[in-house]
Each structure stands twice: as structure tokens, then as C-alpha cells.
Amino acid sequence: MIADRYLQLKGELESGLAGLIKLGSEMQRPAEQLDTLQALLRDISEPLLFVVAGEVKSGKSSLLNALFGDEFAKVDVLPATDRVYIFRYASEEKSTEVSSKLTERYLPIPFLRDFNVVDTPGTNTMVKEHQMVAEDFMPRADIVLFVFSVANPWTQSNWEFLDFLQKTWLKNLIFVLQQIDLREPTEIDVIHRHLQDTAMRRLGFVPPIFAVSARKALLARTSGLDKEKLWEESAFAPLEEQIDFIVTQSSPRMLKLRSTFQTARVALDDLNQEIRGFLDKISADTAVLDRLDGILANRREQMLRQTTTLVREVERAYDETTKERAQLLQQSQSWWRSFSLIWRRTAGQQELHSKLEAQLRQLMQPQMEKSIRTLEADLRGLWPQMQDLLENQLSADLQKEARQSVPDFAGQRREFSESIQTAFIDILAGKALQERLARSYSQTSISLRIIVAIIIIAGTVAVFTKMQSAVATSALVIAGIGGITAIFLAFNHRRKVLRDYERQLSPKRTEFTQTLEKQFAKAIDSFCAEMAKKFRSLSEICQTRLRRYQPWSRRADDLEPKFAELKSRLG
């Protein structure tokens, strides 16, 4: 295809620019910036403008058909092009009569996307159209082909039309001597020289002149036979090279490509900088969050170790209560006190229980509170420390997110204190113990009452028989046995109560310290989990941002080699 070097370069720049616009719009760049890039894209996509002029029947339309390898312009032995035609691309064929002298032909032929082609009637017949062609198309044309026919090379109308044109419009002028297959090479040489001389005389310079056969060139391009020979004989190759050269070297076109490229390069650098800036920020933020995670894990370990010390202290306090509790139990459970069960079924069991609880509470509470305070202070101190790191080391926009979600520590502290208190109360609140003791009290009470009743009955019998009969003796023996049994029961009851309390309280020590340890660990874990949750939510924000920027970064990276290639070719 003619002008393919330029078209290829333009195509690559278009694709680079289109990629850049897509990236910019995804990155929501300001509308003005995108509009500028769109305008540049439209500007460079503007098709090349080729104009052909020359004598009637000199083979102008045939030359265009041969150049583009498509018979889009009407060719005839009779005058065929009766008005100026401009050929443009459209997906459907149509014609618009712009005026009686100009028709716009829209054709779905791919090359017309890159070229607008102006075909004109013979210079000798289009006097009226001269001015329009000259003024509307010549100044903008990338290539102006002036056709002379070997069949009639001496006519004046071409030169008269050339006289009519401003010299500045002739910079892209090419003379084409057409239909060379109709004459011998020697004749063509003569005509060629004649054209050179006349051009020098009338224009003051000699444009490039190419003697060609459009008929053979078209055949070479469209028929399957003898392609190479026909192409050789058409002498089209040098003409095409010249066209290629003019278009590629055309300063307005190349300047346009170059300046468009420079603007696009700056825009790509801008986008790249923004992407890099964001990616750097994200990886710095991720590193800070990772560091915070590490610090948090360390502090968690430290605090867990510290809880062991705290629990040991509570344990010591608990042990100290054991001695005092034993004393209290001994005092309140003297064996003769068990006799009170005869007239009091519970014999103050409830009061004893309350007393024990109050004593335990009184002795342990200060130590418990101290431990809770120590741990609370530690946990409370952790957040400001983390907050400080977040505020000083995270990027400004992530800091904003960090501030929006301060963890709810108040609720957690309350929950922690409550759970410790519950564990504490639980030491003595063993329902089983209470029930067992109640059962023991009630059984002892019933047994004692029965024995007392037996003793009374036996005593009464002895009194009534005046202590002399065998019956009286037996009654006294029974009363004696009853008395001994009652003493045994009272002792046994005391022993059972003391043993039950001991059984309840000794394993409770381990249970209690284990619960305490568990509650401490739970509190620490939930504090840490709350903070880790916050770091995780910030990390997720980083990840979301990363997912947004990474494809853009890849896209920008993909554009880089394209732009480097364009730079080397555009200079």
C-alpha cells in the first residue's frame, strides 16, 4: 500500500494514544486532559488527502485506481469524470451532491479510512471548477498528482491550471506521464524532456516526473497473470516510492505526529508517576501494617507471660486464705455445736457459708483487683502506642481510614472484669457442695432427733420401772447406746462438713487459677484480635487499592515499549 511507512507509524501512534486514553479514563483523569488526547487522536487520524488533476482522458481516474488497487473511480473512453469527486470512507456506499460541481462519494473500501481522494474532470473542461479545486483542496493536499498523457502531451490546459495555482501549494506536486504502454521508450524520453523544460520555464522548478502505465499497474494488482512482469512494465514502483517519501517527509504530517507523540509521552509519564506513587504508598503502608502485626504479636506474648506472674500472685493470696478458713471452720464447727441440729435443722449452715465467702472475698479481692488493674493498664497502654505508629507512619489517606474505626475497648474491659468476678464468686458457689451439706445437715438432724427420742423413751421407761426391773436396765442400756451414737454422729457430722469444704476448696484452687489464666488470656486475645481486625481492615483497603492499580501499572508498562519504539522512529 502506498504511504505505508507513514500509515504504519500513524497507526502505532493511534494505538498508543488510544491505550493511553483508555488508561486515563479508567484512572478518572480530568476531562480536559482526556479531551486534549482525544482531539490529538482525531487530528492524527485525519486521512491523507490526494488530489489528481490533468487533461481530459489522460488517465487520471485510472491512475488513482491503480495506486489503490481498486476500481473505485469511474474510467471510460468517453469523458467519465464530469465533476469533482471526493472519495471518503463510510460503512455504506452513498453519494452526496455538495454542489453542481462537487460530489462526495462515500464507499466502504478500507483504504479510504486512511485516504481522502479527489478526482477531477480534465483541466481543459473544468474551467469553472478550477477555483474550487485550487482553493478547497490544493492547500491541504498531501499529494498533488498532475497527469499528462503520452497520447497528447503538448496541450496547454495543464500549464494554464498550474499558472492559476499559488506556488506554495505545489510543494507536494508530482508529474505523472501516463499511458506509456501506448508509446515507444524513445518517444517517452522526448516527452519527458519536454515536460522538464516546460516546467522549468513556466514554474521555475522541475517537479519529480514519473512515466507510468496505470493500466498495467492495475492489472498487476488485480489479475493473477504475469503480475511481476506487468508491475515492472508499469514503472509504478518509483512513483510509489516518491509518494511514500513525500508523505513520510511531509513536515506538517510528521510534525503533527511528533508533537502528538510528545504530548502523549508526557501524559504517559504523568500516569506512570501517579501509579508508581500509589503503588509505593501501598507497599509502604503494607510494610507498616506488617510491622504493627509483629509488634502486636510480641506484646501479646509478653502480656500472656505476665499473666502467669499475676496468676501466681493470686494463687499465693488464695493459699493464705486457707489457714484462716481452717480456723474459721474449726471454730464454727465444734462437735458439740452439731447437737444444735436436734432443734435447728440447718444449724446455721447458711451463715457459715456466707462467712466463708465474705472471708475469701475480703482476703482475695485486693490481690484480684491489683492483677486486673495491672493487665488493664497494659492493654490500655497498647492502643495509644499502636495509634501513634499508625498516625506517624501510614500514608495520609490510610490514616483517615484508621481514624474512622477506633476499636471499642470500653466494652471489652467491662466484659473482662465481669468474667473475672464471676470466676471468683464461682469458687464458693458450688451448688453440689451446698446440696451435699444440706443433705448431711438434714440427715444428721433427723438421726439425732430419733436418737434423742429413743433416749427420752428409754429414760422414761427406766424412771417408771423405778430403775429396778430388767426392763429398766435394758432401757438404761439403750439410752446409753443412744447417747454414744449421738456423740459419734455429732463428731462424724463435723468431720464430714470440714472434709466437704476442704474437698470443695482444694480443687477449686486449681480450677480458679485455671479460669483466671483462661480469662486473662481471653481478654488479651480479644483486645489483640480487635486491634488485628483493625489492621486487617486497613490491609484490605491496601489490597483493594493494589487490585485497582496493578492492572493500570501493567497497562502502562505495556505502553512503554510501544512509546520507546515510536520515539526511536519519530526522532
State the residues that interact with ligand GTP by CB under 6 A.
56-62, 75-77, 79-81, 121-122, 178-179, 181-182, 213-215
Cell numbers linked to 37 = 488526547
Q: Compute the least distance from the CB of residue 98 to ligand GTP, in Å.
A: 18
Nearer to ligand GTP, 24 or 59 (CB): 59
Choosing among Mg ion, ligand GTP, none, which partner's interface includes residue 79 (Cβ < 5 to 8 Å by kind)? ligand GTP
For residue 208, with 0-12 CB atoms within 10 Å meaning exposed, 13-18 middle and 19 or more buried, which class applies? middle
Choosing among ligand GTP, Mg ion, none, which partner's interface includes residue 16 (Cβ < 5 to 8 Å by kind)? none
Residues that bind Mg ion (CB under 5 A): 60-61, 80-81
Q: Compute the least distance from the CB of residue 220 to ligand GTP, in Å.
A: 12
Choosing among Mg ion, ligand GTP, none, which partner's interface includes residue 62 (Cβ < 5 to 8 Å by kind)? ligand GTP
Choosing among ligand GTP, Mg ion, none, which partner's interface includes residue 493 (Cβ < 5 to 8 Å by kind)? none
Q: Compute the least distance from the CB of residue 155 to Mg ion, in Å.
A: 16
Cα-flanking dihedrals φ and ψ of residue 199, to 5°?
-60, -45
Nearer to Mg ion, 81 or 234 (CB): 81
Choosing among Mg ion, ligand GTP, none, which partner's interface includes residue 58 (Cβ < 5 to 8 Å by kind)? ligand GTP
What secondary structure letter does DSSP report for 136? I
What secondary structure letter does DSSP report for 492? H
Nearer to Mg ion, 100 or 186 (CB): 100
Through-space distance between the first and last CA atoms of the chain, rounded to whole angstroms: 24
Choosing among ligand GTP, Mg ion, none, which partner's interface includes residue 198 (Cβ < 5 to 8 Å by kind)? none
Nearer to ligand GTP, 75 or 375 (CB): 75
Longest dimension (CA), the chain: 183
Cell numbers linked to 367 = 490481690
Choosing among Mg ion, ligand GTP, none, which partner's interface includes residue 178 (Cβ < 5 to 8 Å by kind)? ligand GTP
Nearer to Mg ion, 117 or 356 (CB): 117
Cell numbers linked to 392 = 506517624
**DSSP-derived secondary structure for 103-170:** EEEEE--GGGGTEEEEE---TTT-HHHHHHIIIIIGGG-SEEEEEEETTSTT-SHHHHHHHHS-GGGG
The residue at minimum Cβ distance from ligand GTP is: 81
Q: Compute the least distance from the CB of residue 125 to ligand GTP, in Å.
A: 7
Nearer to ligand GTP, 58 or 172 (CB): 58
Residues near 492 by beta carbon (within 8 Å), at least 6 away in sequence: 444
Element (H, E) at 173: strand 173-178
Nearer to ligand GTP, 19 or 59 (CB): 59
The amino acid occupying position 456 is I
Q: Compute the least distance from the CB of residue 228 to ligand GTP, in Å.
A: 18
Nearer to ligand GTP, 122 or 482 (CB): 122
Give the integer Cα–Cα distance in Å for 254 and 274: 30
- For residues 33 and 267, the answer to whether their CB atoms sit within 8 Å is yes
Q: Compute the least distance from the CB of residue 179 to ligand GTP, in Å.
A: 4
What is the SS3 assignment for 54? strand
What is the SS3 assignment for 322? helix
Q: Compute the least distance from the CB of residue 556 to ligand GTP, in Å.
A: 50
Nearer to ligand GTP, 183 or 494 (CB): 183
Choosing among Mg ion, ligand GTP, none, which partner's interface includes residue 541 (Cβ < 5 to 8 Å by kind)? none
Residues near 483 by beta carbon (within 8 Å), at least 6 away in sequence: 451, 455
Choosing among Mg ion, ligand GTP, none, which partner's interface includes residue 57 (Cβ < 5 to 8 Å by kind)? ligand GTP
The amino acid occupying position 345 is R
The partner residues of 537 in beta bridges, in order of sequence, read none
Give the integer Cα–Cα distance in Å for 200 and 173: 14
